[in-house]
Amino acid sequence: MRQRLFRVSLVIAIALAAIAGSAQATDLTAGDIDDHLNFEEFLDYQADALARDSTLPALSFGDRITVRLVDAFARSFGIAYVTVQPGEGGGPMAAVYSGADGVARLFPASDGLPGGALRLEVRREPAGPVLASATVDPSLSDEVTIPVPGSGVAPTALDLLLVLDTTGSMADEIAYLTAGFDAIVTAVGEDHPEVTVRLGLVAYRDMGDEYVVQSHDFTASLSEMLDWLGRLRAGGGGDYPEAMDQALEAARELSWRQGPVARLLVLIADAPPHANRYNATVDAVRALRNEGIRVHPLAASGVGAAAEYVLRSSAVLTHGRYMFLTDDSGLGNSHAEPSVPCYLVTSLDSLIARVVGSDLSGERIEPDDSEILRTVGDYEKGVCLSSDPAGGGGSGLPSDSGPSDLALDGLSEDTWTIPLVPGPEERGGLKPFTGPGADGGTDATLNGGAGSRAKGWTGAAGGLAVAILAGLAVLAFVRRSRRS
């Protein structure tokens, strides 16, 4: 009988290992927030973050001015170059690009603009003639619509750059993203066959590592990009912050195309820059904004409060969207719940394809109902109708559902626990698998929590290990049932 039970457990283990080992990048799940569509909530979040951590860069976003460019038919004018100068005259003091939706945003205090009226001039290119102009007084209005003669031009090209933290804690994300990146690019190409696509990569670690920044300038070859990604190896890092500022500075130096081009940068990170490099990071993001480059951050596992603040601020400054991995896939480390009021959970590749597609079309693209895995908060087309933060409330599990632990024979319940039914704090992952630490406690967590830098077991080997343990748990349970 004992041999039969062991064989049953082994079969279960092998089956679970096959499932765990077959995980692909498309299994990763994610959500996002457009803080410009939920701006008052973002300002509340920013004030709270700064109150908790005074070392964070205090960017002035509250005086935002929204500039809308429309053509003779009241349609979006598309990508254009907008310069800003004092209303009484003088040279340009700031410049921004509108997106395919014809929208540009100014932050007068953060942009170093003087008080009083501002004169805006619209050009197709920085060196082109002035097509239209308008004056706006920030004290009287926070929005201005500028009619531009002629018709707008939709983007005819896409420059898509991945800026990727490749320190040791990012091993899971590198593996999954590498496997699924071709699906993302293929989906964008199928939806926008008229657009020429170039791809680039900036990998970064930290000072003292094997390298700080590795840059691969844009290529039109997807296979070349996949080769670059396939050569990446996670390593180094050591402390929590990384050299994000240097990576963003390097990103600006690549050969971005001019004209009606969607210039997008996806920043994939699980750690903030060093605190003494916060201002350098903000300056690098401002420089990208000045070139019409939108930053769409993707928060990986391990993101803490400082990293979320820097990433979300970068998105707001450049008119991007803040994306974040979720635990719905059950892959990799536990992912911190974002401080946002609402979001939809879909596959990661679907989300990135929609974000890129939205920037190409000038219209927000929502997922099909069949793509939505979970809804958090009161969500409607990117707008959160309720301001209650979603953090901690998006598990999709009943609030009273807790872990059901089974102890293995020969070991006390205080030593090893394997929760087979995850509670809200686990959110579908395998986080609570713990073992005895050096001091006899249970501090040797194999799959770290949201703030941990330790990585969980992933891939075929990790899946086999977890599956075997699950099989042993089943065996222990059956043996205990026989004795009772």
Model confidence pLDDT, tens digit, residues 352-382: 999 999 999 999 999 999 999 999 999 999 9
CA 22 to each of CA 34, 178, 464: distance values in angstroms, whole numbers, following the listed order: 33, 15, 11
- Give me the pLDDT at residue 152, please: 84
Tokens encoding 11: 């079969």
Characterize the bridge pairing of strands 343-347 and 374-376. Answer: antiparallel
pLDDT at 443 over 70: no
Distance CA 263, CA 160 (A): 6
Which residues have CB under 8 Å from 141's CB, separation 6+?
Answer: 65
Mean predicted confidence (pLDDT) in 309-319: 98
* Residue pointed to by tokens 């014809």: 102
Nearest to 337 by CA among 428, 243, 240: 428
- Give me the pLDDT at residue 208, please: 87
Model confidence, pTM:
0.77
pLDDT in tens, 325-336: 999 988 766 787
- pLDDT interval class at 388 (50, 70, 90): low
Range with lowest mean pLDDT among 20-24, 120-124, 188-192, 274-278: 20-24
Nearest to 169 by CA among 236, 265, 228: 236
Helix H segments across 36-194?
39-52, 171-191
- Give me the pLDDT at residue 95, please: 94
Most trustworthy range by pLDDT among 10-19, 236-245, 336-345: 336-345
Mean predicted confidence (pLDDT) in 406-429: 32
3-state secondary structure of 64: coil
Range with lowest mean pLDDT among 14-28, 144-158, 406-420: 406-420
3-state secondary structure of 98: coil
Most trustworthy range by pLDDT among 134-143, 150-159, 227-236, 253-262: 253-262
pLDDT at 442 over 80: no
- Give me the pLDDT at residue 390, please: 55
Nearest to 428 by CA among 305, 323, 325, 353: 325
CA 57 to each of CA 85, 110, 280, 288: distance values in angstroms, whole numbers, following the listed order: 26, 11, 10, 17
pLDDT in tens, 161-177: 999 999 988 888 888 88
Contact between 248 and 163 under an 8 Å Cβ cutoff? The reply is yes
| pLDDT, mean over the chain | 79
Which residues have CB under 8 Å from 184's CB, separation 6+?
Answer: 349, 352, 353, 356
pLDDT at 460 over 50: no
Tokens encoding 124: 């197709």
Distance CA 483, CA 76 (A): 74
Cβ count near 281 (within 10 Å): 23
- Give me the pLDDT at residue 214, please: 97
Contact between 204 and 164 under an 8 Å Cβ cutoff? The reply is yes
Inter-helix orientation angle 278-290/244-252, to 10°: 20
Structural domains for the chain: 2-22+405-483 (no CATH), 26-59+154-384 (3.40.50.410), 65-147 (2.60.40.10)
Characterize the bridge pairing of strands 143-147 and 65-70. Answer: parallel
Nearest to 43 by CA among 101, 102, 97, 107: 107
Mean predicted confidence (pLDDT) in 394-404: 31
Characterize the bridge pairing of strands 143-147 and 157-165. Answer: unpaired
pLDDT in tens, 33-77: 999 999 999 999 999 999 999 999 999 999 999 999 999 889 999
- pLDDT interval class at 414 (50, 70, 90): very low
Contact between 64 and 39 under an 8 Å Cβ cutoff? The reply is yes
Q: What angle do CA 216, 217, 220 make, to 5 degrees?
A: 110
Q: What residues pair up with 343 in beta bridges, in sequence order?
A: 376
CA 316 to each of CA 93, 115, 311, 347, 437: distance values in angstroms, whole numbers, following the listed order: 20, 22, 9, 23, 42
